[in-house]
Amino acid sequence: MSPVRSTTGRGRLFPSILDTVGDTPVIRINNLGVVGRTLYVKAEFFNPAASVKDRLAINIIEAAERSGALKPGQTVVEATSGNTGIGLAMVCAQKGYPLVVTMADSFSVERRKLMRMFGAKVILTPRAQKGLGMYNKAVELAEANGWFLAHQFETTANADIHEATTGREIINDFAGQRLDYFVTGYGTGGTLVGVGRVLRKERSDVKIVLTEPANAQLIGSSKPQERNADASPASSHPAFEPHPIQGWTPDFIPKVLQEALDRHLYDELVPIAGPDAMRWARELAAKEGILTGISGGGTFAVARLIAERAPEGSVILCMLPDTGERYMSTPLFEAIEAEMDEAEIALSRSTPGYQLAAE
Q: Considering Cα of 326, then 329, then 331, then 337, what sign does the dihedral take?
A: positive
Q: Decide: 42 and 170 in contact? Cβ < 8 Å.
A: yes
pLDDT value for 359: 60
In this structure, which topology does domain 53-149 adopt according to CATH? Rossmann fold (3.40.50)
pTM over 0.75: yes
Q: Would strands 315-320 and 181-184 be described as parallel, antiparallel, or unpaired?
A: parallel
Q: Decide: 97 and 61 in contact? Cβ < 8 Å.
A: yes
What b/e string do you get for 156-185 counting C-beta neighbours within 10 Å, with b at 16 or more?
ebbbbbbbbbbbbbbbebbeeeebbbbbbb
How far apart are alpha carbons 243 and 227 in whole angstroms?
23
Percent of the chain with pLDDT over 70: 99
pLDDT value for 106: 85
pLDDT single digits (tens) 255-282: 999 999 999 999 999 999 999 999 999 9
Residues 136, 90, 123: CA angle, nearest 5 degrees? 30
Which candidate, 115, 159, 140, places its Cα nearest to that of 254?
159
Q: Do domains 17-46+165-333 and 53-149 have the same CATH topology?
A: yes
How far apart are alpha carbons 100 and 122 in whole angstroms?
6
How far apart are alpha carbons 288 and 46 in whole angstroms?
16
Catalytic residue among 51, 81, 295, 314: 295
What b/e string do you get for 70-108 counting C-beta neighbours within 10 Å, with b at 16 or more?
beeeebbbbbbbbbbbbbbbbbbbbbebebbbbbbebbb
Regions of the chain where pLDDT drops below 50: none
How far apart are alpha carbons 246 and 280 in whole angstroms?
15
CATH 3.40.50.1100 fits domain 17-46+165-333: yes
Which candidate, 55, 63, 61, 50, places its Cα nearest to that of 94?
61
pLDDT single digits (tens) 10-20: 999 999 999 99
Catalytic residue among 53, 130, 137, 207: 53
348 catalytic? Reply is no
Residues 86, 92, 95: CA angle, nearest 5 degrees? 145
236 catalytic? Reply is no
pLDDT value for 143: 96
Domain spans in the chain, listed from the N-terminal domain onward = 17-46+165-333, 53-149
State the alpha helices, DSSP H only, in 218-293.
255-262, 274-283
pLDDT value for 287: 98
